[in-house]
Each structure stands twice: as C-alpha cells, then as structure tokens.
C-alpha cells in the first residue's frame, strides 16, 4: 500500500534519493509551499467531466487541483512557492489505466513504450494505477502478469482502484501522504537530496525524450525479448547504445558462446541470466 505507512518505513538512503524543492534555513515545507495535484487534460473519467472530478477531489480532501497538458503520465504533484509562485515538480507521477485500456496497450505494446518514457522522465516514485476489476476482461491473465512484472521486476508501485469514484479517493489519499512525507522530511533532506525541477524544466526534459534516438529504438526492440524488462533494456543500451556496438562486444569474446551468453549479466545487475542469454540469441539470430 502506497501511503503514509510506506513513506514512514522508507530508510534514510531511499529518502535521500527523493528530490526536494529549494529550502531556506529554518523554513517549514507548508509555510513555504502549497502542494497542488495536477491532472492531465487528456485523461478521461467515463461519464464524469474533468471539472466534476476536480470539484469532487477538492471538496472531499480540501486540496487544490488543476488540469494541464502533461508531457508524460496522467497525474503528478507540484510544490508551488507561496511568495515566488514558482512550481516545482515533486518526485511522484501516476500512469492511470482502466483494465480495458491496459489490455489494449499490452496487445499493441504501447504500455512498454509508456513505461519506458516514465522511467526516463526523471521522477523517482512511479505509480501505475490500474482501475477496475481485472477479472472482467477476456485477457485477465495478461493484465495480471503485466501488473506483476510492472511492480516486482520494474519497480513501479502498482495501485488498484474499483472505478472512477475510487480513483478520486486514491488521488486524495496520495496527495495527503505526499504532503505528510514532505512536511516531515523537508528540513532533513533539503541539503542532501536532489533539487526538484521547476515545472518548465520538467516539460523541457520530457520534450527532449520525444526525440527518438537509435538507442531508444534498440531499447524497444530489446523489450520484445523474453525476460527483458524496461530496466534491463535501459541498462543494456547505456552500455551498448546500438545493436552494432553490442554485436561488436560479442565478437571480442572470440566465439566463446558460454561467455557471450553471460556477458550482459556480468556487466549489469539489472540483466538476469535468462535475459542475457536471450539477447545474445537475438543478436546472433539463433533458434
């Protein structure tokens, strides 16, 4: 459960990884900043209008909610400086899918591309919110497997809701937990943590992600290989940005097939033995 309890349980090493907005000495978080929930203006809530969703969350939880065109994800949180009016993007982002959309994105591989973009957006706490009953769709096993790999292998925090109304409550509770986390850790982490990007910096960073490189295409190809997760694909492309560079690395091992199969596993903890072997098979086009 992603809430106050899990935030409290995080160790000091993990806390120090979360970005903090700028901090003045002896300044409390809530005195300096207001936390605002931002919803993507392309996100739909069935028969509910976005304005109705915003009003529901505001009235139930007494938190500010705004709608913007987000460059990635369906919801995120900003800390707005009360005097300077500068918006800083907090280290949490949500990708929301109802079960039917999730199944469709699994079939056409959009969900892998979306998760890869989330991984590269620079925010640390990636929340994958699955809305609805997975048992009601024809490909329920595919959806369950996708949720499992997304959470256990790829490090996302998978949250589930029963429907639109429950999602509104989830957003409200998450906002409360995030406010609580930053209120408790603002002073302690301000000097040791990364600095939050401003909203404009975040948008620019994400727009740069839209420029597809050969490395991005190679990563998407690798993610089609059995046992290769998004993290494994990114680990491989950080070492070998193109298929050609990886193929050259294999040739340096002078045909030692066993060493070639283990090469990527030995190079990165993110690549397990099965993925390492399967990628070698892909490059060498073996059966």
- In the predicted model, is pLDDT for residue 5 greater than 70? no
Mean pLDDT of the chain, nearest integer:
84
Of 79, 66, 77, the closest CA to residue 33 belongs to: 79
Nearest to 70 by CA among 45, 100, 94, 91: 94
SS3 content of the chain, % helix, strand, coil (to 5): 55, 15, 30
Rg (CA), the chain: 21
Q: Rounded to the nearest 5°, which phi and psi values hold at 210? A: -70, -20
Q: Does 168 score more than 90 pLDDT?
A: yes
Please tell me whether residue 215 adopts helix, strand or coil conformation. helix
pLDDT tens-digit series, residues 150-159: 887 778 899 9
Q: In terms of Cα–Cα distance, which of 198, 257, 254 is closest to 78?
A: 198
Taking alpha carbons only, the member of 274, 152, 271, 286 closest to residue 219 is 271
Amino acid 188: pLDDT: 63
The predicted-structure confidence for 262-272, as pLDDT tens digits, reads as follows 999 999 998 99
Strand order in the sheet with 33-40: 65-68, 33-40, 75-81, 87-98, 125-131, 157-161
Predicted confidence band at 287 (pLDDT cuts at 50, 70, 90)? very low
How many angstroms separate the CA atoms of 19 and 24, rounded? 15
Sequence-distant (≥ 6) Cβ neighbours of residue 18 within 8 angstroms: 91, 124, 125, 181, 185, 189, 193, 194
Question: Measuring CA to CA, which residue among 241, 226, 196 is closest to residue 89?
Answer: 196
Structure tokens at 168: 């509104």
Cα 186 from chain centroid (whole Å): 22
Residue 186 token pair: 């603002």
Spatial separation of the C-alpha atoms in residues 171 and 75, rounded to whole Å: 9
pLDDT in tens, 223-265: 889 899 888 898 999 999 888 899 999 999 888 899 999 999 9
Kindly state the average pLDDT of the residues 109-129: 85
- Contact, 117 vs 73, CB < 8 A? no
Residues 25-77: tens digit of each pLDDT = 778 899 999 999 999 988 777 767 888 889 999 999 999 999 999 999 999 99
Say if residue 8 is exposed, middle or buried (CB neighbours under 10 Å; 0-12, 13-18, 19+): exposed
Give ranges for CATH 1.10.150.670 in the chain: 214-284
Count H helices, E strands: the chain?
A: 14, 6
Q: What is the third-level CATH fold of 214-284? A: DNA polymerase; domain 1 (1.10.150)
Whether the pLDDT of residue 110 is over 80: the answer is no
How much is the pLDDT for 271? 93
Q: Cα separation of 185 and 12, whole Å?
A: 10
Burial class (CB in 10 A: 0-12, 13-18, 19+), 86: middle
The yes/no answer on whether domain 29-210 falls in CATH 3.40.50.1980 is no
Q: How far is CA 90 from CA 122, 124, 170, 190, in A?
A: 11, 9, 17, 13
Q: Where in the chain is the domain with CATH 3.40.50.10130?
A: 29-210
């Amino acid at each position: 459960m992603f809430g106050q309890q899990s935030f409290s349980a995080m160790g000091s090493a993990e806390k120090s990884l979360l970005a903090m907005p700028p901090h003045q000495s002896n300044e409390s978080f809530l005195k300096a900043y207001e936390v605002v929930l931002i919803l993507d203006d392309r996100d739909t809530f069935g028969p509910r209008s976005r304005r109705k969703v915003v009003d529901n969350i505001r009235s139930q939880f007494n938190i500010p909610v705004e709608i913007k065109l987000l460059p990635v994800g369906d919801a995120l949180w900003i800390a707005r400086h009360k005097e300077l009016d500068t918006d800083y993007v907090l280290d949490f982002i949500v990708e929301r899918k109802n079960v039917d959309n999730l199944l469709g994105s699994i079939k056409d591989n959009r969900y892998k591309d979306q998760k890869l973009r989330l991984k590269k957006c620079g925010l640390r706490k990636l929340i994958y919110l699955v809305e609805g009953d997975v048992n009601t769709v024809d490909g329920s096993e595919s959806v369950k497997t996708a949720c499992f790999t997304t959470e256990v292998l790829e490090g996302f925090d998978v949250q589930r809701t029963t429907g639109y109304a429950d999602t509104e409550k989830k957003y409200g509770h998450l906002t409360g937990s995030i406010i609580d986390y930053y209120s408790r850790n603002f002073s302690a982490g301000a000097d040791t943590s990364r600095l939050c990007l401003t909203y404009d910096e975040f948008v620019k960073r994400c727009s740069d992600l839209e420029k597809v490189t050969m490395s991005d295409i190679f990563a998407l190809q690798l993610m089609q290989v059995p046992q290769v997760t998004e993290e494994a694909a990114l680990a491989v492309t950080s070492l070998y940005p193109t298929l050609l560079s990886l193929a050259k690395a294999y040739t340096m091992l002078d045909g030692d097939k066993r060493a070639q199969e283990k090469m990527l596993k030995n190079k990165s903890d993110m690549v397990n033995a099965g993925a390492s072997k399967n990628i070698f098979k892909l490059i060498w086009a073996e059966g």
